[in-house]
């Protein structure tokens, strides 16, 4: 949900998105967050692989 607390909610007449659109947007944001987290993990793994590869090369 975009709004964490009731006090943060915008009055109905001032909303830009409908409740359905907000729900879809929330799901989309969650999906994008998940993809971003996967990318960060993938990058960490790639750095680890490259580090190990360089260590092997240097230890020869």
pLDDT in tens, the chain (60 residues): 555 565 666 666 778 999 999 999 999 999 999 999 999 999 999 999 999 999 999 998
pLDDT at position 12 is: 67
The domain of 34 spans 18-58
Whether residue 7 lies inside any domain: the answer is: no
pTM value surpassing 0.75: no
Residue 10 domain-assigned (yes or no)? no
How buried is 13 (Cβ within 10 angstroms: 0-12 exposed, 13-18 middle, 19+ buried)?
Answer: exposed
Q: What sign has the CA pseudo-torsion 6, 7, 13, 18?
A: negative
Does residue 11 lie in a domain region? no
What total of structural domains would you count in the chain? 1
């Amino acid at each position: 949900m975009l709004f964490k607390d009731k006090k943060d909610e915008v009055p109905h007449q001032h909303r830009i998105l409908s409740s359905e659109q907000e729900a879809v947007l929330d799901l989309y944001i969650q999906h994008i967050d998940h993809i971003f987290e996967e990318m960060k993990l993938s990058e960490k793994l790639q750095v680890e692989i490259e580090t190990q590869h360089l260590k092997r090369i240097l230890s020869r």
